[in-house]
Amino acid sequence: MQLYTAEAGYNQILPQVMSKMTEAQNANYRSSEAKTLLQNATDAYNQAALLANQSQWQTAILDLQNASTLLDNASAKEQTYVAQQTLIEETIIIIVVGIVISAVLILRLKKRKSR
C-alpha cells in the first residue's frame, strides 16, 4: 500500500513540475543565476525520473520537489534581474536626454553671446 501511495504522490507532482519546467525553458532567461538554477532544476528533474524508473518513489518525490523549488527560485531571480536591467536602461536614457538638453542649451547660450 505504501508503494502505491508514494507512486501516486510522484504522479500527482510530476505534471506540475513538468509544466513549470517547460515554462522556464521557454522563458529564455537572461540572468546567469536564473540559468544556473534552471540547469540545477533540470538535473534534479532528470534524477527524479531515473529514480522513478527504479521505483524509488520517496527519493524521486524529494527530487521533484527540489526541482520545483529551484524553478520557482529561477523565475524570481529572472524577474529581479529584468527589473534591475529595466531600471538601469531607464536611468541611462534619462542621463543621455539630460546631456542632450544641456548641450542644446549651452549651444543656444553661446549663439546668443556671440551676437
Output the nine-digit C-alpha cell for 108: 543656444
Length of the chain: 115
Residue 84 confidence (pLDDT) = 85
Residues 62 and 76: their CA atoms lie apart, in Å, by: 21
Lookup result for grid cell 534552471:
38
Average pLDDT, the chain: 90
Per-residue pLDDT reduced to its tens digit, 32-57 = 999 999 999 999 999 999 999 999 99
CB 7 within 8 A of CB 57: yes
Residues 105 and 115: their CA atoms lie apart, in Å, by: 16
Residue 4 confidence (pLDDT) = 63
